[in-house]
Amino acid sequence: MKKLILTTVAALMATGPALADLVFPSLSYRTGPFAAGGIPFADGYADYFTLLNERDGGIGGVSTRVIECETAYNTEKGVECYEATKGEGALVYQPLSTGITYQLIPKASADGIPVHSMGYGRTSATNGKVFEWVFNYPTHYWNGASIAVKHILDVNGGDINGKKITLLYFNGAYGKEPIPTLEALSEKHGFMFDTIAIDFPGQEQKSQWLQIRRDKPDYILFWGWGVMNQVAVQEAANIRFPMENFIGIWWSGAEHDVLPAGAGANGYKSLQFHNVGSDFPVFDDIQKFVVDAGKAAGEGNQIGTVLYNRGVYAAMLAAEAARTAQEIHGATEITAAMMRDGMESLKMTAERMAELGLPNFGPTFQVTCENHGGEGLGAVAQWDASAQEWSLVTDFIAPDEDVILPLIEADSMAYAAENNIEMRCN
């Protein structure tokens, strides 16, 4: 497998210019049980950079190059992909896996290459005083847990004392991330909290849903990924759990997660940190300059789907950070260190997103030396089974920083002590 990865990467690198390009590796997974989510994200990520090349001549006049390396969502393969591509002028890594992110944090930090774990990874990496090379803007899992609870508070008139909330989660680093936050929020708001794990890959969940049926929680928060998502939605429909009280994290709310359940999925909710649908000018440009030109990374039929949009959003943020780095350093050909500076100075305004053809697509936010996560906003989307579409049903919601910030401080300081990291941003 290692030989195959290296051979694939070498072949891909041979197809483009060698040095002058701005290089954006893509640690993708088009195979395995998580491919249904990995494919549209990888397509959106690649297609946006192709759009910049075809329409704009790259970023600041420099072409971009995406080096895609297949990880199959396997941590060991993800690390191999990193090692195989980091020497090609890589500007930033988006691991698209919490497990891979945890392994790359020390490696990439030592190598001086930024990591952007957008909405996943190690949550406390938002503390830039400790994690110089790691970013997780515009939000992270602990914010997601807080936003979900805020939404539940909102629909219950601000009082959820005595309610039962269950976290149904992928039994791995990703799924365990929100537990400390939900425990703290349980103490603050007086709701009863418990957890139910789903082992990989999650195709069999009868025992978990028998427990849910017995315990009768008022709400289920769901941290799933891959095939386990559609299984969970179908099982919820089978026991007639009220779908409006079933709320997934942003990795548990794509079209392929709900379509198999048909009408039974109607009303299911999911958090999102960007907008949904194809009604944005940038997608017209992608259709014209990329899909119709025969340059799409995939079949060109994923535009507007949740995870294609997320791939586009991730690429846009990377491109904007690179553009910011060029401005800061007065250079068009930037290094990974310069890219880090651009990421740490990134400011996404409503005006800039409109200029990019993405008006109201995501929350406004600003990254600083101290804060690598932005303001942490997220919205709630809901599935309409008859229309077969997602729509945002709330504005972007701010997390409860009174709960979140102390947790981040404690976890990041512990990491700093364990790894002898000196504080920065003084």
Has residue 317 got a pLDDT over 70? yes
Q: Which of the listed residues 233, 253, 272 is the one where a domain comes to its end?
A: 272
Has residue 356 got a pLDDT over 50? yes
For residue 11, what pLDDT is reported? 41
DSSP line for 141-193: HHHHHHHHHHHHHHHTTT--TT-EEEEEEESSHHHHTTHHHHHHHHHHH--EE
Mean pLDDT of 322-339: 98
Question: Given the DSSP bridges, would you call strands 389-392 and 379-384 parallel, antiparallel or unpaired?
Answer: antiparallel
- One domain, residues 151 and 39: no
On the 0-12 / 13-18 / 19+ scale of CB atoms within 10 A, 207 is exposed
For residue 15, what pLDDT is reported? 43
Residue 276 in contact with residue 381, Cβ under 8 Å?
yes
Q: Which of the listed residues 241, 272, 303 is the one where a domain comes to its end?
A: 272
For residue 409, what pLDDT is reported? 96
User: Is residue 21 included in any domain, yes or no?
Assistant: yes
Instruction: Report d(CA 176, CA 74) in Å as an integer.
Output: 18
Has residue 1 got a pLDDT over 70? no
Has residue 14 got a pLDDT over 70? no
- One domain, residues 243 and 297: no
pLDDT tier at 365, thresholds 50, 70, 90: very high
Output the CA–CA distances (angstroms, integers) from residue 221 to 34, 165, 194, 257, 263, in the order listed. 20, 7, 10, 15, 21
Q: Which of 10-14, 319-323, 397-401 has the lowest mean pLDDT?
A: 10-14
User: Is residue 424 included in any domain, yes or no?
Assistant: no
Tell me the per-residue pLDDT of 168-208, one tens digit each, with 9 for 90 and over. Answer: 999 998 999 999 999 999 999 999 999 999 998 999 999 99
CB atoms within 10 A of CB 414: 12
Output the CA–CA distances (angstroms, integers) from residue 30 to 40, 52, 86, 354, in the order listed. 9, 23, 21, 31
Q: What is the mean pLDDT of the chain?
A: 94
- One domain, residues 170 and 201: yes
Tell me the per-residue pLDDT of 46-74, one tens digit each, with 9 for 90 and over. Answer: 999 999 999 999 999 999 999 999 999 99
Q: Which of the listed residues 237, 272, 307 is the one where a domain comes to its end?
A: 272
- One domain, residues 197 and 246: yes
User: Is residue 4 included in any domain, yes or no?
Assistant: no
Number of H helices, E strands in the chain: 15, 13
- One domain, residues 135 and 39: yes
Contact partners, residue 172, CB within 8 Å, separation at least 6: 98, 99, 200
Has residue 12 got a pLDDT over 90? no
User: Is residue 400 included in any domain, yes or no?
Assistant: no
Residue 174 in contact with residue 228, Cβ under 8 Å?
no
Phi first, then psi, for residue 57 (nearest 5°) are 75, 25
Instruction: Report d(CA 57, CA 27) in Å as an integer.
Output: 24
- One domain, residues 365 and 256: no
Of all helices (H) and strands (E), which one includes residue 382? strand 379-384
Q: Which structural domain, as residue segments, surrounds residue 48?
A: 16-139+278-375+407-418
Tell me the per-residue pLDDT of 119-142, one tens digit each, with 9 for 90 and over. Answer: 999 999 999 999 999 999 999 999
For residue 20, what pLDDT is reported? 63
pTM: 0.93
Tell me the per-residue pLDDT of 260-294, one tens digit each, with 9 for 90 and over. Answer: 999 999 999 999 999 999 999 999 999 999 999 99
Has residue 367 got a pLDDT over 90? yes
- One domain, residues 133 and 148: no
What six digits make up the tokens of 329? 């350093």
Instruction: Report d(CA 374, CA 360) in Å as an integer.
Output: 17
Instruction: Report d(CA 108, CA 148) in Å as an integer.
Output: 32
For residue 399, what pLDDT is reported? 97
The CATH number of whichever domain residue 148 belongs to comes to 3.40.50.2300
Mean pLDDT of 214-222: 98
User: Is residue 10 included in any domain, yes or no?
Assistant: no
For residue 424, what pLDDT is reported? 95
- One domain, residues 145 and 261: yes
- One domain, residues 81 and 195: no
For residue 33, what pLDDT is reported? 84
- One domain, residues 285 and 363: yes
Tell me the per-residue pLDDT of 222-246, one tens digit each, with 9 for 90 and over. Answer: 999 999 999 999 999 999 999 999 9
For residue 366, what pLDDT is reported? 97
Instruction: Report d(CA 223, CA 197) in Å as an integer.
Output: 10
- One domain, residues 282 and 134: yes
One-letter amino acid of 223? W
On the 0-12 / 13-18 / 19+ scale of CB atoms within 10 A, 96 is buried
Residue 186 in contact with residue 165, Cβ under 8 Å?
yes
Structural domain count, the chain = 2
Tell me the per-residue pLDDT of 21-30, one tens digit each, with 9 for 90 and over. Answer: 999 999 999 9
Has residue 251 got a pLDDT over 80? yes
User: Is residue 359 included in any domain, yes or no?
Assistant: yes
Mean pLDDT of 41-45: 98
Contact partners, residue 54, CB within 8 Å, separation at least 6: 289, 290, 293, 295
User: Is residue 227 included in any domain, yes or no?
Assistant: yes
User: Is residue 201 included in any domain, yes or no?
Assistant: yes
- One domain, residues 243 and 265: yes
